[in-house]
Amino acid sequence: MAMEEVAAAELAAEFGGPGPEDLANGAAALAAGLLAQAQSFATTAAALESSDTGHQGAIEASAARASLALAMAQAVSEAAPPARAGLIAAAAKSLDVSVGGAVTQIRAAALSLPTDDAAARIAAAQIAQEIAAVLGAA
């Protein structure tokens, strides 16, 4: 365990960090944020496609980002925590989106959560940070 992880675990234990229910709610909220992103990117791709003005690269990029957001939502909501980053990295690679782009997307989703549950927000931020840390090391 890295020094930062030990410090975070000690701090959480001391102050009663997110519990199992908070982590489950945080994962659900983060997945909902990612689904909202997917909808936004898909809407952008559709709007660009309907404008028919030669935006093929932007259409493809928006569609890839929408697909990645869906894959990340699935990983966050269905996969065990240790497997999430690997699934997200594989999805990013298959969609030709940079891992840095995936990190940005998951951090953005954690900042725009559709909940006022403070414990779930903290848990979602923690989940996003854990994934980003693993992806950043990859």
Mean pLDDT of 104-131: 92
Percent of the chain with pLDDT over 70: 87
Write down the pLDDT at residue 1: 47
* DSSP 8-state assignment for residue 16: T
Distance CA 121, CA 32 (A): 12
CA-CA-CA-CA dihedral for 132, 114, 29, 113, to nearest 10: 10
Sign of CA dihedral 77, 89, 98, 96: negative
Write down the pLDDT at residue 15: 65
Write down the pLDDT at residue 113: 86
- pLDDT of 31-82, one tens digit each? 999 999 999 999 999 999 998 778 899 999 999 999 999 999 999 999 999 9
* Residue 138 confidence class, pLDDT cut points 50, 70, 90: low
Percent helix, strand and coil across the chain, each to the nearest 5: 85, 0, 15
Mean pLDDT of the chain: 89
Q: Would the pLDDT of 122 be above 50?
A: yes
More confident residue, 13 or 32: 32
Q: Would the pLDDT of 5 be above 80?
A: no
Distance CA 2, CA 117 (A): 29
Q: Would the pLDDT of 7 be above 80?
A: no
Distance CA 61, CA 136 (A): 21
